[in-house]
Amino acid sequence: MELQPFTINIPQLTLDDLRERLIRTRWPDEVDDSNWDYGTNRAYLQELVHYWHDVFDWREQEAMLNQFHQFKTTIEGFGIHFIHERGKGPNPIPILLTHGWPDSFLRMYKLIPLLTDPEKYGGRAEDSFDVVVPSIPGYGFSDRPREKGFTSGRVAELFTRLMTDSLAYSRFGAHGGDWGSSITEQLAFAHPDSLIGIHLTDIPYHHLFTVKPDELTPEEQEYLKAGQTWQMSEGAYALIQSTKPQTLAYGLNDSPAGLLAWIIEKFQRWSDSDGVLERKFTKEELLTNATIYWVTETINSSIRLYYEAQHQPPYSTTERTEVPTGVALFPKDLIPPPRAFADRFFNVQRWTMMPKGGHFAALEEPELLAKDIQSFFRPLRASA
């Protein structure tokens, strides 16, 4: 499992093809004054597409990303791309940060310096981490799985080997949100002895379907109902991605405007932006994330993870990990759960209700998230 230094360098022909496709976008009609009610707002999408074509500089963003130390290694036949930044404190502990969908390893780019060099940002040097940020297989610059059954559990196995075999960390911490929380949970189930602790920004959604309503407290029952309501109003994307991802992928892989519309609608709905995306994200961040999907042609392989989760054997209702767990809940995330629900599945030792922020916490509120991660792991460092 030799580590190879990795530099992002997208062929110019790929970028030229992207610009030509943007020019040829065929725009659908739209209901008057519909805003975002029917989905992605056409006026804002047109503005962003024009910016993508006329102003956005991928080479500038590529250079920014290449400031991080990046590598690729092959584990069980899969090429895994990852960032590895060493901590600058006296005794940094390793931490694995795992992104979700529809974001990418870019999700963590603001968080990395806050964790590796906290003293530079007003924190304590002794709270530093060695930070590892992989691209989930099928996302970004990691290889795309071509076999059935490539679940979050399989990803967790590869990431464990990345940390313990490739990078020689005997024990490490882990943090994640969205798919990152599911993968982090699977790490804790399969390799508890390798983990110092885990930190999550949400409770993996599959637990909504593994409990019996009559066993829940009234507060948990309200949470379950909220989840069902959300599924009916906002969950259509997950249903199609977990049942017919291939059909969806033909359009998204062929049209950059279509791909962008599919992705940014989630950023608009799931963030603490009051519906105005650029209150939380710059155009460069939105377009860098979308460009990563476009140039790597990974939208299909990324959404297949939903299909694999839907078709794997059902989770047990009694699964619970005893690995020390910290949970930071951001108010505009999808459906923040009550503490009692989380306690059913995790050994929760820190529970933080954040004052602001949404689903993409590492991008929206990196300082708040970094401080909570540091606070959670501080008493656990001796066990490292």
Report the catalytic residues. 178, 306, 359
Q: H or E element: which one contains 16?
A: helix 12-23
- Residues 202, 342: Cα–Cα separation, whole Å: 9
Residue type at 109 in one-letter notation: Y
Strand partners, 195: 172
Angle between helices 283-296 and 58-65 (to 10 degrees): 90
Strand partners, 64: none
Contact 118, 128 (CB under 8 A): yes
Contact 257, 49 (CB under 8 A): yes
Cβ within 8 Å of residue 330, ≥6 positions away:
201, 272, 336, 354, 356, 357, 358, 359, 361, 364, 365
Best CA proximity match to 288, nearest among 314, 260, 313: 260
Where helices occur in 235-345 by DSSP H, the ranges are 236-243, 245-254, 256-270, 283-296, 299-311, 339-343
- Residues 323, 195: Cα–Cα separation, whole Å: 7
Start-to-end C-alpha separation, the chain: 24
Best CA proximity match to 196, nearest among 167, 178, 166, 170: 170
The count of other CB atoms within 10 Å of the CB of residue 132 is 25
**CA distances from residue 200 to 63, 179, 180, 313 in whole angstroms, order as listed:** 30, 11, 8, 24
For β-strands 70-75 and 129-134, DSSP reports them as unpaired
Q: Look at the block and give the residue holding tokens 């008057």.
A: 32
